[in-house]
Structure 1
Amino acid sequence: MEIVSASIPGSRYRQLGKKSTATIIVVDDDASMRRALRRQLQVLGFEVSDFQSAEDFLSGDLPAGDLCLLLDVYMPGMTGIELCRKLTAAGRHVPTILISGRDDVQTRKMMRDAHPSASLLKPFDEKSLLRAIRKALPNQLDLPH
């Protein structure tokens, strides 16, 4: 598992050549992070759904098609790690990118043990986010490099 850490450059969003068919689902208790990720991912051509908690996410149905979860590790109530385990136990295998603002041994171990497609440390840049999405959704060939 590769954990990527990078600083966020100014607002340097690139438009994808064409709209992606994938939906990125952002689950993060930080409203400003959800808004920023929603904007960035939409500009990049993705459909985006966002939820303030794992419980809110679980109260709905997963959309059809290519999906990728972008989950905050530390949230009040159910954590992103617990959500990963719950989905796996229910037989719902969705490519997952774990994100965290904490960079310590315990967090890295928890992230690694959850077997995500990728992990990102906040703050991360657009290039790191796209690299993580490409790992999670390898069939989305139109993603920029």
Structure 2
Amino acid sequence: MCGDAEIVLVVDDDAAVRAALKFALEVEGFRVRLYDGPHAVLADDRLPTHGCLVVDYRMPGIDGIELVESLRGRGVVLPAILISGRVTRQLRALALRSGMTDVVEKPLSDAALVECIRRALGSL
């Protein structure tokens, strides 16, 4: 069972992906908060100080890397995992240079994502 600090914020504009991730992560004991896009996260004035972000790369408005950079500019320094349907060498390098903890390609393997989240939270 995960502790109170182990909340995962999932940001994805695809409702089916959000629902699937919520189910898979809750089965693993994580608390999950869902956001339907970058603007919803940026508008949330009660973001946790501990936890992990799982952020889709391609979303309307701003991409996942820009979102995390914007959050960091506001003092939100949660570890962040980028998910994308097409992970190129260049995207992975850009994400890691931007401070992402990891990059995971869709379709997502629940086990691989959970491992990345636990590693990001320091639970492994």
Q: Is residue 53 of structure 1 aligned with residue 23 of structure 2?
A: no
- 5+ residue gaps, structure 1: 1-17
The secondary structure found in structure 1 opposite 2:83 is strand
Q: Is residue 24 of structure 1 aligned with residue 3 of structure 2?
A: no
Rounded Cα–Cα distance in structure 2 between residues aligned with 1:128 and 1:106: 21
- 5+ residue gaps, structure 2: none
Q: Is the 8 A contact 2:11 2:53 kept in 1?
A: yes
The Cα of 1:110 is off from its aligned counterpart by: 2.5
The secondary structure found in structure 2 opposite 1:75 is coil
Q: Is residue 36 of structure 1 aligned with residue 20 of structure 2?
A: yes
Rounded Cα–Cα distance in structure 1 between residues aligned with 2:86 and 2:46: 28
User: In the TM superposition, what whole-angstrom CA distance separates every residue of 1:77-127 from its partner, at most 9, and x where no partner exists?
Assistant: 121111111112222211111111112244223222222111111112122
- What amino acid is aligned across from residue 57 of structure 1 in structure 2? V
| Match runs of 1:67-82 below 5 Å | 67-82=51-66
Higher RCO, 1 or 2 (CA under 8 Å, sep at least 6)?
1
TM-score if structure 1 supplies the norm length? 0.77
Runs ≥4 in structure 1, deviation > 6 angstroms? none
The secondary structure found in structure 1 opposite 2:103 is strand
Q: Is residue 66 of structure 1 aligned with residue 46 of structure 2?
A: no
From the two aligned structures, give the one with the greater helix fraction.
2
TM-score if structure 2 supplies the norm length? 0.88
2:97 is aligned, of 113, 119, 140, to 113
User: In the TM superposition, what whole-angstrom CA distance separates every residue of 1:2-49 from its partner, at most 9, and x where no partner exists?
Assistant: xxxxxxxxxxxxxxxx24421100000111100000011111111111
**75-84 or 62-71, which moves further after superposition?**
62-71
The Cα of 1:65 is off from its aligned counterpart by: 5.3
The alignment-based identity, stated in percent, is 37
Q: Is the 8 A contact 1:118 1:135 kept in 2?
A: no
Structure whose alpha-carbon radius of gyration is higher: 1
The secondary structure found in structure 1 opposite 2:16 is helix
